[in-house]
Amino acid sequence: MAYALNEDQQDCLQELINVAMGQASDQLARYLDTFVFLTVPNIELVNGQGLSSSLESNTDSTAVVSQGFFGYEGIRGEALLVYKHKDSDRIGDLLGYEPGELSVEEQLIDISSILTTTFLNVFASQIENQMSYSAPKLLAHTQDTVDDYIKQISFDWDMALKVNINYQVTDYSFNCEMILLIPAAAIENIKTVIDRILEDY
């Protein structure tokens, strides 16, 4: 496969992500004043169909938030945050807002942006880059609309590099999955960056 990362590249990316996850979870724990657990990331190449069926098999999804990111050297992609539990209405407490001060939608968007940008900022500094972000968008909320929404997306693209990270904030029984998707055109760019890092070692 033309886009596939070789073993060294895959290991290097895995290591960069591991380090970024460690720092991000530390920062988040301090900011949120509670433990944040991140599971071992899963890195793979997917095509549109593969992603669509893996999203559809996630039948208990209750919300999806999308946020675009872009940095120097053509590093860009889209982050999807998939929420599973209905008890996401306690996110407001977690973020320090007063009850009723913000809607469930706003809470979801706020926490999504915090999780995505904290992780990607650390990741970007690992590769001596700097990320900018688009505003996060709530694609669908409530189980019915998530299913409908996913069915409506055409997923009409060939290949993407997919990184899955699971976030757990056990004190708030809060659980979500971050799916970073890097489009085909940017995979070459990230490989260039990885190769440079490998050369330095």
Partner 1 sequence: MNSDIELTQVTEQLNSGILLLDLDLNVVSWNRFLAVHGDQKISAAKGKSVFDVFPELPKNWFECKVASVVQLGTPSFCSWEQRHHLFELPHTRPFTTDSDFMAQNCTFLPFNTDGKLTGICILIEDVTDVCHYQTMLKQTMFELEQANRMDGLTRIFNRKHWEDTLAKEFVRAKRYGNQLSLIMFDLDKFKQINDNYGHQCGDLVLTETASRISDMLREVDVFGRYGGEEFGILLTETNAAGAKEVGERIRTILSSTPVTFEKQTISFSACIGISSLNTMQTRYEDLISEADNALYSAKTSGRNQVCLAPSLRMCS
Number of residues that bind partner 1 (CB under 8 A): 26
- CA dist 183 and 166 (Å) reads 21
Q: Which of 38, 32, 54 is nearest to 166 (CA)?
A: 38
Residues 120-179 that bind partner 1 (CB under 8 A): 121, 132-133, 135-138
Question: Could you say whether residue 86 binds partner 1 (CB under 8 A)?
Answer: no
Give dist(CA 17, CA 145) in Å, integer: 32
Token couple for 88: 């996401």
Residue 139 in contact with residue 148, Cβ under 8 Å?
A: no
Alpha-carbon span 3 to 190, nearest angstrom: 11
Q: Which stretch binds partner 1 (CB under 8 A): 81-89, 109-117, 154-162, 175-183?
A: 109-117
Is residue 6 helix, strand or coil? coil
| Contact flag: residue 187 with partner 1 (CB under 8 A) | no
Q: Is 181 in the site for partner 1 (CB under 8 A)?
A: no
- Residue from the set 11, 105, 128, 158 that interacts with partner 1 by CB under 8 A: 105
End-to-end Cα, the chain, rounded Å: 26
Give the residue, chosen from 23, 52, 58, 113, that forms a contact with partner 1 under the rule CB under 8 A.
113
Q: Which stretch binds partner 1 (CB under 8 A): 3-11, 45-53, 98-106, 167-175?
A: 98-106
Asked if 110 is part of the footprint of partner 1 (rule: CB under 8 A), the reply reads yes
Among 18, 54, 103, 142, binds partner 1 (CB under 8 A): 103
Question: H-helix or E-strand containing 15?
Answer: helix 7-32
Nearest approach, Cβ of 45 to partner 1 (angstroms)? 28
**How many residues does the structure list for the chain?**
201
Contacts to partner 1 by CB under 8 A: 27-28, 30-31, 95-98, 101-103, 105-106, 109-110, 113-114, 117-118, 121, 132-133, 135-138
